Amino acid sequence: MEMQELKYFDLGGHAMEHVLKRLSEIESAASSVMDSVEEKKKELSLAMEAKIRDFDEAVEKETAHTIEELRTQLLEQISLDLKEQEKQTDMVLQALEKEYEEDHIQLAQTIFQSIIH
């Protein structure tokens, strides 16, 4: 070994203590960083869960609102269609009643003639 290397080793336990102390400080700092990272990870996880929950609730509310709007529109359309069918039925009944009033004797004779022949 060279002379410089011997001097380093000649310092005895002081140099080794210094190295060990620095290693201990580094390990402590690394452990502290890891703890901090783990804590931040937990915080981010909780924040993400809250955001997901909020998003799910918002989507659920929006979906319920959209379904209710569609249901209302459908019921309105059904009501309009039903009124139109009632109107058409009334018109057909009125036409049949008018035809019967105007031609009931002729209709009766036609039916009678078809029965006897």
d(CA 117, CA 114): 5
Q: How far is CA 48 from CA 23, 41, 90, in A?
A: 37, 10, 62
Per-residue pLDDT at 1: 43
pLDDT beyond 60 at 26:
yes
Note if the pTM is more than 0.75. Answer: no
Number of domain units in the chain? 1
pLDDT beyond 60 at 52:
yes
Amino acid identity of residue 79, one-letter, is S
Average pLDDT, rounded, for the chain: 88
How does pLDDT run across 54-106, given as a tens digit for each residue?
A: 999 999 999 999 999 999 999 999 999 999 999 999 999 999 999 888 888 88
Q: How far is CA 6 from CA 3, 14, 17, 19, 29, in A?
A: 5, 14, 17, 17, 31
Which structural domain, as residue segments, surrounds residue 76? 3-116
Residue 91 and residue 98 in contact, taking contact as beta carbons nearer than 8 Å: no
